[in-house]
């Protein structure tokens, strides 16, 4: 089921409000807010090295039923699944 642009924006804001990316060992300070698991945010433009991953412990991970990791460097769940 497709979401409306308004629903996508609401979900994106929910993801950003719960995001724990800034606590990750791979995090690089910059102008990004995290939320890389969300399809419309996508990969980081500043994180290039995988130094560890805390995605599995993030509340969004369970809430959205995610299965992959390293969204900051590998892309959103949909991207990693080839969707």
List the chain pLDDT tens, one digit each, 83 residues.
Answer: 678 999 999 999 999 999 999 999 999 998 999 999 999 999 999 999 999 999 999 999 999 999 999 999 999 999 999 98
> Domain residues of the chain, as ranges?
5-80
In this prediction, residue 49 carries a pLDDT of 97
In contact, 66 and 77? CB cutoff 8 Å: yes
Measured in whole angstroms, the distance separating CA 17 from the mean position of its chain's CA atoms is 12
Write down the pTM of the prediction: 0.90
Q: Cα(9)–Cα(35) distance, rounded to whole angstroms?
A: 12
3-state secondary structure of 80: helix
Q: Cα(60)–Cα(51) distance, rounded to whole angstroms?
A: 21
Q: Cα(78)–Cα(80) distance, rounded to whole angstroms?
A: 5
């Amino acid at each position: 089921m497709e979401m409306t642009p308004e629903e996508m924006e609401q979900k994106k804001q929910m993801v950003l409000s719960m995001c724990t990316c800034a606590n990750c060992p791979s995090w690089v300070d910059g102008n990004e807010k995290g939320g890389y698991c969300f399809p419309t945010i996508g990969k980081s433009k500043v994180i290039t090295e995988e130094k560890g991953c805390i995605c599995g412990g993030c509340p969004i991970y369970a809430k959205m039923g995610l299965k992959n990791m390293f969204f900051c460097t590998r892309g959103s769940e949909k991207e990693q699944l080839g969707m």
